[in-house]
Structure 1
Amino acid sequence: MSKLPKRSEVKPEHRWKLEDLFADQTAWNNEYAQAQEQIKQIATFEGTLSDSSKLKACFELEDQLSFHVERLYVYANMSHHEDMAEPGNQALSDKAKKLSVQSGEATSFITPEVLSLTDQQLAAFIKDPQLQPFRQTLLEMQREKAHVLSKAEEMLLAQVGNVSQGPGNIFSMLNNADLKFPKVQNENGEEIELTHGRYIQFLESKDREVRKNAFKAMYETYGNMKNTLAATLNANVTKNVFYARARKYPSVLEMSLFGDNIPKEVYTNLIDTIHQHLPLMHRYMKLRKKLLKVDELHMYDLFSPLVEEFKLDITYQEAVKTVKESLKPLGEDYLNVLQEGFDNGWIDIYENEGKRSGAYSWGAYGTHPYVLLNHNDNLNSMFTLTHEMGHALHSYYSDNNQPYRDAQYTIFLAEVASTLNEALLMNYLLEKSTDPKEKMYLLTYYADQFRTTVFRQTMFAEFEKIIHEKVEQGESLTPQELSKIYYDLNLLYYGEDMVVDQDIEMEWARIPHFYTSFYVYKYATGFSAATSFSKQILEEGAPAVERYLGFLKSGGSDYSINILKTAGVDMSTPEPVSQAMSVFEDLIKQMEQLEG
């Protein structure tokens, strides 16, 4: 294996151009000084916000400060990510983080002060012509007002904040530091310690005994701690119920959806629609059993490869070419922006010594987006490229069509553009493929995304809904109760062709997302919305593309659900999830035909 190059040895054409953000360190220092000055200035507005002209000036200064802090923070951290061991960039990153905290503290008076105004004053501000650029902010504050308490009560809740982090922190320490897993024999008969990171590698083994032993070892370890882990999860749910009641929400679910202004129906429709389509999941399990040539399909068989690894050696240049071809349905304008990204230093392509792992898209308003990759010449890296460029172009269109305050899109929308690109790439590869082995490899790759991102995350979402409703009704969550709920859901979701091993009843104990409550449904809704968009684009052409580009340009100018609805995907109805399920059904049909 060749040695990784040092950052200084990376060719200029393989690096992103951070100089497009700041020409040099002096420019960064000057903007830093400017931001510090604005932090002092904004304090002078405290106590004056009942006056509309003062409020306008305060909002404008807040935007300028936020704009500078974001640029400084993004540049410092992306510089740090180029080489995490370089001390100068580490110091710059720390400096930017401190500035961000100072800025947050300096502007923290604005929302409480506006919320302390009377309903009449707030309504008048929303209609005030000079405050129209900030109308969405004021509407959001008006919506929030019903759930804001008195000053004394808010102070009390703020003090409870550290205590409320207890369940999540305890789980994190248990899960990441204290839990020790036994050793498991690998395919070569070597005793290897089981870890979180190695678990999936074991489950992907071709040796069934290795998979089974790792699976049993994992859940026996959690089973030994079931009382502590149940008490921890119960404490987290109880904390959520406390906050929902204190802030006068009908339920924890509605409190969790409130931030993005998502109707409860989006959540319940997702679960109901997936329930209606569970026969598809059961059909896929039956096919998986057949492809694996096993008498019984067990839970530890879910990650084992269905077909021999089909080695696709794809250079970065080939990946770029294929991604461009696959995104042709999105039209000339989209392709031109994409090309600009490939040609003009948006992307940091290859791994180098000390570089941050993984991949992301990031950037700051007023400059083009940036994408960090650690490209390997394989299929996964090509999908990562199109995924991150989906994020990048979403940011590009938002930033170029919205004022600063309205440009940032929500987490609810964040994965739609990236997943749509993946769907179009998969469609292109499947249409082009002539090798049955390659085609089956691609189909199983895509079908497993549906299984893990839509079905599994919806099952998690349903589990969260059930356990919160139980605590809201005054019941407690014993380890036996949690395990029974979880086991029964697995029976329901996987169907009769799957042997639902008893050990899986402890899986609830190892899911960190259950401590960020009612979040996982966004994976399933985002994937469904993207699949719905891709289906419309491929079937309708230009009108659907125009609606989709309108979605990309909308940023955060309206509530997420409205932005999607305007673009032709109404998540308050079952339709987008049903459309995604029709794509999944088509994949299964193609696999069944190939398998014969």
Structure 2
Amino acid sequence: MNNENGNYTWKLEDIYVSDEQWEEDFTRVQKLISEVEGYKGKLGKSAKDLLEALNAGYRLQEINEKVFVYASMKLDEDNTNAKYQGYKDRAAGLSAKVQAAVSYIVPEILALPADKLTEFRQDEPGLAVYSFMLDDILRQKPHILSEKEEQIIAQSKEVTQAANNIFKMLNNADLSFGSIKDENGKEVEVTHGNYLSLLLSGDRRVRRDAFFVLYKSYGEYKNTLASILGASVKRDIFYSRVRKHPSALEAALFSDKVPTEVYDNLIDTVRQNLNLMHRYMALRKEVLGLEELRMYDLYTPLVQDIKWEIPYQDAVDMVKEGMAPLGDTYVKDLTKGFESGWVDVYPRKGKTSGAYCWGPYGVHPYVLMNYQNNLNNVFTLAHEMGHAMHSFYSYNEQPYSTAHYSIFTAEVASTVNESLLMHHLLDTVGDKKKKLYLLNHYLEQIRGTVFRQVMFAEFEKIIHQRAEAGEPLTAEVFTEIYKKLNEEYYGPEVVIDEEANLEWARIPHFYNAFYVYKYATGLSAATYLSKQIVEEGEVAVDRYLTFLKSGGSNYPLDLLKEAGVDMASPQPVQDTMDLFAALLDEMEKIIGDK
């Protein structure tokens, strides 16, 4: 769907012009599997053999990535499309075969005597492109198994993804929430796409009705959902034990070389500042004039008499203007993305909910949105385009072996965009009510991205520890843990409805273990870096753009340190808490002066 203002659907034909072309690459991958398997047992023969095997393995994975991403994104356009359900299943099966085919490479490299590998690397200049990968493989040595065991693990991936796939289908395709009446008395179906918009409503009855109708459906399936989540946790523990990690948490952090102290420091620092969250809840209760503040009251703006409708094209302009401190080249590349079919903008029936950025190496990134005309969606757009620009620069500058950056650093790139957009809007919006609205939004961003995600992170830590101790994970157990965390994080000013303790049942990120803490570390790092960009100008921008172009060429903490922030210290998180306190002070002052 196009008009003079731009593109509203993404151009997946940039990956494959047709489904027939996808089929050709599907067949090509099957042939390349045989080629890669032909190097088995030969990696120690010569530096040339090692280089050829690595080149063939990465070429296979690069093409397979295109096959898998295309199938997945075609299904995301409409999860009820049986054809692309089949494509996704086939692509998942093929990916499992690809992983099995390359599974011998790491064990064979690890079996090489250290001096022989050093000699190969000195003799063959072509191996230089794989330096970081080879160093990282040696770091993994204690957790790599025999060749046959690695093959079994690779083949198990398709089966152990079942919990994630079942949850996604139940949540996106089968689960429905019924209808409520909106502010105008019009019947409206509650969906993943509009739920947050309904919670943003100034009409408390709409917020309440949307909240209860949504959680009624999750409550009806709570035992099924608990079984699915429990299976996902057991999968995490299975892989951690097979790979000889002390815990699922340490297994999850290992790939990024992030010590558990970073995770624990994050939770501890936020817990030490929960008084700020409780203070914000008290302000929210006072400003809304409520006798009881409930969970469905937490998203509606505190400035109730403002209507800030932001059509998509206006959102695009706001994001571009907000990114001006990053320089002309960045803004030009960003504009090209908006105008070249990177973004699928509006919600549709069957379309995957939420928002994400994805895309195969060698093409360009894509952004899935379910855009609603509000400020929250403008920031979501800025966030996802931050991911997109990170991918764009990384894919252009890095070879395939180091092009894929860690989620840990990804959340920095996305949140820098949000922070710069907020700086821009606070500087340029003159209307006092809109400024108050923005301050409220900034507080909400930190509440949602730090306090809320850290609560999720603590929930994940607790449920994995319980399962590791042999304790059962049932709907009642999940709900009891969640209730306690809700009470501690939100404090005495919030009445916790029983339904709110079922929120664990609807969080997709729990199926990607120990992922959400990276939102909080990302915002903390981004807050610090965006301040540098605004205050220091070109020097800080150059450091930051170098960081974006570095992709996955080093470990996340090292890349961030080079960009200018030390995440091994709890200080960046505390700085974000201090920013939250300052925003709260400013908001209380403006409200007090009225």
Structure 1 residue aligned with 2:135: 139
1:62 matched to which residue of 2? 57
SS of 1:555's equivalent in the other structure is coil
Q: Quick one: distance in 2 between partners of 1:233 and 1:75?
A: 27
- Asked whether the equivalents of residues 450 and 523 of structure 2 are also in contact (C-alpha less than 8 Å), the reply is yes
In the alignment, structure 1 residue 108 sits paired with structure 2 residue 103: no
CA distance in 2, matches of 1:420, 1:585: 20
How many residues get paired? 585
Deviation string, structure 1 residues 53-94 (Cα, Å, up to 9, x no partner) = 21201112233344445556667877898999999xx78x97
1:25/1:302 CA distance change after superposition, 3 Å? closer
Following the alignment from structure 1 to structure 2, what is the Cα–Cα distance between the partners of residues 79 and 174?
18
Q: Which runs of 5+ in 1 are unaligned?
A: 1-6
Deviates more, 1:31-40 or 1:62-71: 31-40
Decide which moves more: 47-56 or 224-233.
224-233
Partner SS, residue 514 of structure 2: coil
**Does residue 45 of structure 1 match 2:47?**
no
2:527 aligned counterpart, secondary structure = helix
Which of 387, 392, 395 aligns to 2:391? It is 395
Relative distance call for 1:232 and 1:31 in structure 2 (3 A) is closer
Deviates more, 1:334-343 or 1:512-521: 334-343
Which consecutive unaligned segments of at least 5 residues does structure 2 have?
none
Cα deviation for residue 419 of structure 1 reads 1.8
**What letter is aligned with 2:103?**
T
Distance, in Å, in 1 between the alignment partners of 2:492 and 2:540 is 39
Letter in 2 for 1:521: Y
For the Cα contact (< 8 Å) 2:277–2:489, is it kept in 1? yes
Does the 8 A contact of 1:278 with 1:493 survive in 2? yes
Q: Which residue of 2 aligns with 1:517?
A: 513
* Residue 454 (structure 1) aligned with residue 446 (structure 2): no
CA distance in 1, matches of 2:386, 2:374: 19
Partner AA of 1:467 in structure 2: I
Give CA-to-partner distance per residue, 1:225-270, whole Å, 9 cap, x none: 6666656655544453344333211111101212332221221111
Specify whether residues 317 and 268 from structure 1 end up closer, same or farther in structure 2 by C-alpha distance, changes over 3 A only.
same
The yes-or-no answer on 1:270 pairing with 2:279 is no
Aligned AA for 2:264? T
Partner of 1:3 in structure 2?
Answer: none
Distance in 1 (CA, whole Å) between partners of 2:251 and 2:142 is 12
Secondary structure of residue in 1 paired with 2:488: helix
Q: Tell me, in whole angstroms, the C-alpha distance in 2 between the residues paired with 1:148 and 1:330.
A: 42
* Partner amino acid, structure 2, of 1:125: L
**AA partner of residue 42 (structure 2):** T
Which residue of 537, 541, 545 maps to 2:541?
Answer: 545
Amino acid at match of 1:514: F
TM-score by length of 1: 0.82
Could you tell me which residue of structure 2 aligns to residue 489 of structure 1?
485
Cα distance in 2, alignment partners of residues 491 and 525 from structure 1: 23
CA separation of 1:124/1:530 partners in 2, compared to 1, >3 Å: closer, same or farther?
A: farther
User: Structure 1: which amino acid aligns with 2:563?
Assistant: A
Taking the aligned partners of 1:433 and 1:158, their CA distance within structure 2 comes to: 53
Identical pairs, percent: 47
Change (3 A) 1:231 1:497: same
TM-score (norm 2): 0.82
After superposition, the Cα gap between the structure-2 partners of 1:444 and 1:94, relative to the gap in structure 1 and judged at 3 Å, is same
Over the residues paired in the alignment, what is the CA RMSD in angstroms? 4.3
Paired residues of 1:330 and 1:545 also in contact (CA < 8 A)? yes
Q: 1:136 offset after TM fit, Å?
A: 2.0
Larger gyration radius, structure 1 or structure 2: 1
* Contact 1:561/1:570, CA 8 A, preserved across alignment: yes
| Counterpart AA for 1:272 | D
CA 1:100–1:582: 2 relative to 1, 3 Å: same
Q: CA–CA distance in 2 between the matches of 1:73 and 1:165?
A: 15
**Corresponding residue number in structure 2 for 1:4:** none
After superposition, the Cα gap between the structure-2 partners of 1:95 and 1:54, relative to the gap in structure 1 and judged at 3 Å, is farther
Q: Is the 8 A contact 2:394 2:551 kept in 1?
A: yes
| 1:356-505 superposed matches below 5 A | 361-367=357-363, 369=365, 379-380=375-376, 382-477=378-473, 481-505=477-501
Contact 1:350 1:375 in 2 (8 A): yes
